């Protein structure tokens, strides 16, 4: 594989995983206890939390968890990289089969 192909796969994986991570903010989990109310955003790990009420009374506080953001981005990046790499390798193999090439060039 050429370096430009690897760069393209990495670039596409980073871009796609970033979009999916930001898009995961559409997943909302409502936490509602007697003395605590919050909305958590992000999937599979929440990374944005909006606290609406705690034991002291009404609040309006936003918390961003960078560790969970990094976990989400890493999970999505590995998945996207694997999908794009396998797609490219499969396409390359089909092209070689059409040309009748059985040995890889180094």
Question: Which stretches of the chain are assigned E, i.e. beta strand?
Answer: 28-32, 37-41, 48-54, 57-64
H/E run at residue 52? strand 48-54
Whether residue 106 lies inside any domain: the answer is no
Q: Is residue 48 part of a domain?
A: yes
What pLDDT score was predicted for residue 1? 62
**Collapsed DSSP state (helix, strand, coil) of residue 43:** coil
Query: How far lies 15's CA from each of 18, 21, 73, in Å?
Result: 5, 10, 10
- Give the structural domain span for 40: 3-97
pLDDT tens-digit series, residues 33-91? 988 999 999 999 999 999 999 988 899 999 999 999 999 999 999 999 999 999 888 88
Residue 36 located in a structural domain: yes
Kindly state whether residue 102 falls inside one of the protein's structural domains. no
Length of the chain: 106
**Looking at the domain assignment, is residue 103 inside a domain?**
no
User: For the chain, how many structural domains are there in total?
Assistant: 1
pLDDT at 5: 84
Q: Strand, coil or helix: what is 106?
A: coil
Is 34 domain-assigned?
yes
């Amino acid at each position: 594989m050429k370096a430009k192909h690897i760069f393209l796969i990495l670039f596409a994986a980073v871009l796609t995983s970033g979009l999916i991570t930001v898009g995961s903010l559409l997943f909302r989990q409502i936490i509602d206890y007697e003395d605590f109310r919050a909305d958590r955003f992000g999937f599979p790990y929440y990374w944005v939390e909006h606290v609406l009420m705690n034991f002291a009374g009404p609040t309006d506080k936003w918390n961003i968890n960078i560790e969970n953001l990094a976990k989400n981005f890493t999970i999505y990046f590995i998945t996207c990289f694997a999908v794009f790499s396998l797609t490219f390798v499969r396409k390359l193999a089909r092209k070689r089969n059409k040309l009748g090439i059985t040995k890889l060039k180094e």
